[in-house]
Amino acid sequence: MLLLWLKSLLHHVTKLCEISPLTSGGHNFCFSTFLQEFSSYNSLGQSQFSQYYTLPPSSYVPAGLPSSDDHSIGMGVAEYSAVKSEQAAPAGLPPRGNLDFFFFLKRIFLWDLDETIIIFHSLLTGSYAQKFGKDPATVLNLGLQMEELIFELADTHLFFNDLEECDQVHIEDVASDDNGQELSNYNFLADGFNGPSGGGASGTTGGVQGGVEWMRKLAFRYRRLKEIYNSYKGNAGGLLSPMKKELLLQLQSEIENVTDAWLSTALKSLLHIQSRGKCMNVLVTTTQLVPALAKVLLYGLGDIFPIENIYSATKIGTYCNSPKVTYVVIGDGRDEEFAAKQHNMPFWRISTHGDLVSLHQALELDFL
């Protein structure tokens, strides 16, 4: 299943450039003929950074934790104000047919989300508490509270009730069905759309599932979802009640404390990549797209990952050869490593704080 983690992204990146012969600089290029470089890559030799694995948990000091009176609800992202180089790559993926972008871009870092950048799922399963010697009840309680916030945000503001059964890999997947209608006064509650059933409120017609009208209403929801994400990517608390804002701040701080600044440590690498020229961070997760977006917002990562750079691999994508870009996969599991090897991509495993520290060191030394 996790092999799809990469297949979907490669398919979508290729689609962005409409695989067809194009001319640039007097030479003809066809993306379908491009092959991955570095075909002999295996898992990266992390052992060369073993000296960084021995750092004790006390050395991971949370940086930029929000205070209870902070008006910006973000997990310390603003505190890591990386200065982008003049030749830094654009944050988001390009529109279709933009060949020049991929000749400019050299390296894409494909990040897993849970237990790689953030700690969430293992809070609920108890595996984090067991592995790192934390109090199981405390850790579970934090995970349950964050889970409640994630689904509240997804259901209330991100149309998850409507979109759960018609999930997409990428935010633009149904954009071609959008007729561009103004949505500022559009009533999503009364348009008759009710997920894949096509049903709706009494007296309304949602259209036949997969039909033109139904797909148009689906596209409206994804367009509005994109607008909400872009409006609140640096301030997820703006979507919450005052009480829930305070709860989010408290959870962010307590999770960062109990995980020994895991997120802050991961942010160092994310921001280093973001500040580089010709490099890009892309998030690929097996979580459905809408809950994944809710996690990104609530963990304060909206400014790190433009919505165009977030993919859900829960649906099968058809594999196509990708542009001549080096991909580096960063994840926590053997499935991700296997998927990376299947596509001859370098893989960096994240299982401890030391792995995050050594990743940052490797980036600083230009080994990645």
* Nearby residues of 58 by Cβ (< 8 Å), 6 or more positions away: none
Instruction: Provide mean pLDDT across the span 291-312.
Output: 96
260 is in an annotated binding site: no
Mean pLDDT of the chain: 76
Helix (H, G, I), strand (E, B) or coil at 174: coil
CA 308 to chain centroid, in Å, comes to 9
Specify which of 16-20, 70-74, 197-201, 321-325 reaches the highest per-range mean pLDDT.
321-325
Give dist(CA 302, CA 15) in Å, integer.
24
* Nearby residues of 192 by Cβ (< 8 Å), 6 or more positions away: 199, 200, 201, 204, 205, 206, 207, 217
CA 97 to each of CA 7, 21, 26: distance values in angstroms, whole numbers, following the listed order: 20, 11, 17
Q: Let me know: does 215 contact 191? Beta carbons within 8 Å.
A: no
**Which one is predicted more confidently, 109 or 84?**
109
Q: Let me know: does 160 contact 167? Beta carbons within 8 Å.
A: no
| Residue 256, H or E segment | helix 242-258
| Residue 107, H or E segment | strand 107-111
70 is in an annotated binding site: no
| Residue 202, H or E segment | none
Give dist(CA 73, CA 41) in Å, integer.
40
Give dist(CA 98, CA 89) in Å, integer.
14
- Summarised one tens digit per residue, pLDDT across range 76-97 is 443 444 434 444 445 555 444 4
pTM recorded for the entire structure: 0.76
Give dist(CA 173, CA 12) in Å, integer.
9
- Summarised one tens digit per residue, pLDDT across range 121-170 is 999 999 999 999 999 999 999 999 999 999 999 999 999 999 999 889 99
Which active-site residues does the annotation give? Answer: 112, 114
> Is domain 96-160+241-365 annotated with CATH 3.40.50.12350?
yes
Q: With helix as H, strand as E and coil as C, how does 263-286 read?
A: HHHHHHHHHHHHHCECEEEEEEEC
Confidence of residue 19 (pLDDT cuts 50, 70, 90): very low
